[in-house]
Amino acid sequence: MKPPPFDYHAPRTLGEALDALAEAGGDGKVLAGGQSLIPLLNMRLAAPGQLIDINRVAALDTLVREPGGIRVGALARHSRVERSSGHPLLRQALRHVAHPAIRNRGTVVGSLAHADPAAELPAVLAVLGGWVEVASVSGTRTIPAASFFAGPLESALLPGELAVSAFFPSLPPRSGSAFAELARRHGDYALAGVAAVVELDASGAVTSARIGCLGVAATPLVLDLTPYLMASGAFADAVAYVRERAEPDGDIHASAGYRRHLLGLLAARTLSEAHATASSPGPSAHRITGGTTDE
């Protein structure tokens, strides 16, 4: 089908965008990459009266490396961030986001704002303990990942607010990350997925082990598995705990039980891979580094 009619706004500055959003109130919707919004419009599952197209707001097309991590502006497309962020976990996860043609248009911040519990990036932001910077005509605020994802397809953004950037903290030295998911076809929404981060101390002992799970709860599920991994050989206990905490739904693609089973396998696989990377000698590949193909 075709999108329903809407009033179209094409701001060129952040100020103009926020003014348009404020005026539109609850009837306004932001268009960035459109790879989730336009399907909803085409299927007429969404019919906002006012569409604020931020594609001309050049100030939002940013990708900035800061000492503590990477700041991704609202117009940075998946493909660019995949090539240029230098953040290993973002790169590992972005490979799994839909297909190249979608990644050429879709934006990282847009995916976060869409808050799909089966999407990769919310789980990545959540496991890293990142945050989203939000602006409106009345000011700015920072929303931590833990409170940004409110429910399925529901973020903490209020009417009139625009997510202007997301901050993905970098990983410390002697740490490793891994991402794995299972989908019926590469690029499809995953049945379940896991983003894992393992940190070690100088002696090689685990000081932190966390996973962010997707597709198995209403919002990204972050689990701290540090106690299990500190005790050597407690992988089986960690997997059992992960399966216990997940609350997957069953659908035509997979039963809830199968998703729970799968999640345990993916958790074990990613934790083991992240641990191996953290343990490997040499300069850590898991801090934010330069030298990606795009630079």
Interacting residue ranges for other proteins, rule: CB under 8 A: 1-8, 10, 31, 34-35, 38-39, 41-43, 51, 53, 55, 58, 61, 75-77, 79-80, 83-84, 98-102, 104-105, 185-187, 293-294
Give whichever of 61 and 116 is closer to other proteins, judged by the CB atom.
Answer: 61
- Integer CA distances (angstroms), 90 to 35, 62, 185, 214, 243, in order: 19, 16, 21, 15, 25
**Shortest separation between residue 14's beta carbon and other proteins, angstroms:** 16
DSSP code, position 77: B
DSSP structure class, residue 290: -
Tell me the two tokens of residue 50.
């006012």
| Cβ-based nearer residue to other proteins, 63 or 143 | 63
Q: By C-alpha distance, which of 104, 86, 96 is closest to 195? A: 96
Closer of 95 and 141 to other proteins (Cβ):
95
Residue 175 CB, nearest distance to other proteins (Å)?
27
Q: How far is the CB of 12 from other proteins (least distance, A)?
A: 12
Least separation in angstroms between residue 80's CB and other proteins is 5
From the CB of 78, what's the least distance to other proteins, in Å?
A: 11
Q: C-beta of 124: minimal distance to other proteins in Å?
A: 20
d(CA 221, CA 214): 7
**36 vs 177 by CB, closer to other proteins:** 36
Q: Which is nearer to other proteins, 7 or 247 (CB)?
A: 7
Q: How far apart are CA 255 and CA 266, in angstroms?
A: 16
The b-or-e profile of 35-48 (16+ CB within 10 A means b, else e) is: bbbeebbeeeebeb
| Residue 99 C-alpha from the chain's centroid | 16
Q: Are 79 and 99 in contact (CB under 8 A)?
A: no
Within 10 Å of residue 147's Cβ, how many Cβ atoms? 12
Q: Which amino acid is at 228?
A: Y
* Nearer CB in complex with other proteins: 113/271: 113
